[in-house]
Chains A and B, each alone.
Chain A
Amino acid sequence: MSPTTENLNAISLDTLREIGNIGAGNAMTALAAMLDQTVAMSVPQVGLVSLSQFTQMAGGPEALSVGIYMPVMGAAPGHVAFLLPETDALRLADRLLGRSLGTTAALEELERSALMEVGNIMASSYLVALCELTGLSLAVAPPALAMDMTAAILSTIASTFASAEDRAITIVTRLQEERGVLDGFFIYVPEPGSHAALLDALRMDG
């Protein structure tokens, strides 16, 4: 059995929060550079979330959202996702494709591809920070995009790691573009077996 999430102490949670802070800082900088706008981020929320609560951790469960999901491969496998309301995804597509705000009405092939690329760049930036911090080798697999109820997107993501665990450590950072154009959540879920690797690399005892 891999070390469970039960025996993570407060110091470990703080360490994971710091990991999230630094990762999200990098992701935020990447997003800001792509938008050419200032983006603000919240202090990451780190929590032990049960499967039954998982779908309620970001945004309204039945609200229409766009989720860009990528598995994390390497020494500490996990999952990252960028989740934002559909309206914001349309505006983000406007920005990325050089249209004036409010132009994009639907996410077609081109828009989806652009959004996945943003997700990919943000996730890669997040992980680069983690790699530098921990010395571990981590990379993201190609992104997948879904547009549906927030809860449906989150539960589908959860199903990829649910077989081994009933609860997961989630590191959630809210990213808000300064002018209120975009308000999304960046979610990082290291797999249970990865906590030890991350914490060991930082010379902290799990």
Chain B
Amino acid sequence: MVGMAEVKVTRSPEDVLIALGLGSCIGVCAYDAQARVAGLAHVVLPNSAGHEPSPGKFADTAIPLLLQEMIKLGAVVERIRVALAGGAQLFASGGQGTRLEIGSRNAAAVQAELSKRNLCILAADLGGSVGRTVNLYANGCVRVKTIGQGERELVSLADREVPAGMPGAGSIRIPGSPAAAGPPGKTGPGPVRDAEKRAVFEQEARRNAWSSDRIG
């Protein structure tokens, strides 16, 4: 169980990292298929502004912490693939309740941190108005559960099945994936959709930044 502001990593094959009920928070699932190291960060807010000794809480500090912890278990940054879930806006009304609209800013901040490090986002289930539970299995499988749609597999962060008991079985490539074929920093399947989404996030982030400046 990965609570708010927590970062957890594992390489035990039976482990499942779970972030329950992500609302505006983001579950950052990261996986190195070769080292079989999985990590999950439950990011609460976009920016630490350098004022907190709690790195797991903020996108700009949680991502480095997540990578660092995974590297300790043998992961290699270049091999790490990422899936994202969360960043919703649950509360529909509320007028000027801009502090409730943190989801899109979280999503934008997490994506910015990841692309800064050329990390490959294979899949993202972000935004909207639904809460999500995200499960990251030690084999790289990412499953997302919502109230409306039940549970489904979002993506497998392992490129292909590596037979059990054969760690590091060859170098791993995904045909046609941005990591294997294209320039780094691009998002995974459905780049058009993701790019559109990101544009919306950035727009919203700017708007929210403006309004929260005013409201404090």
Contacts and interface: CB of A to CB of B under 8 A. Distances in A.
B45 A163 contact: yes
A166 B94 CA distance: 25
Interface stretch (B73-81, B95-103, B155-163, B174-182): B95-103
A182 interface: no
Contacts of B113: none
A152 B57 contact: no
Interface stretch (A16-24, A154-162, A170-178): A154-162
Contacts of B103: 156
Interface in A130-187: 141-146, 148-156, 158-160, 162-163, 166
Interface residues of B, number: 34
Given A55-B4, A152-B132, A162-B57, A62 B92 contact: no
Nearest to B3: A52
Nearest to A166: B54
B33 interface: no
B21 A55 contact: yes
A122 B164 CA distance: 57
A158 B4 contact: yes
Contacts of A53: 3
Contacts, number: 125
Given A51-B3, A62-B133, A159 B97 contact: no
Contact of A52 (B6, B24, B100): B6
Contacts of B6: 52
Please classify the interface of chain A as helix (H, G, I), strand (E, B), loop, or mixed, using the class held by over half of its residues.
mixed
Contact of B24 (A55, A144, A156, A166): A156
Contact of A149 (B57, B92, B133): B133
A163 B50 CA distance: 11
B147 A148 contact: yes
Contacts of A50: 3
B44 interface: yes
A82 interface: no
A141 B96 CA distance: 9
B142 interface: no
Nearest to A54: B4
B88 interface: yes
Chain A CB within 10 A, most for which of B52, B94, B145: B94
Contact of B4 (A62, A71, A116, A162): A162
Nearest to A52: B3
Contacts of B209: none
B52 A163 contact: yes
Contacts of A61: 20-21
A64 interface: yes
Interface of A: 50-55, 61-62, 64, 69, 71, 112, 116, 141-146, 148-156, 158-160, 162-163, 166
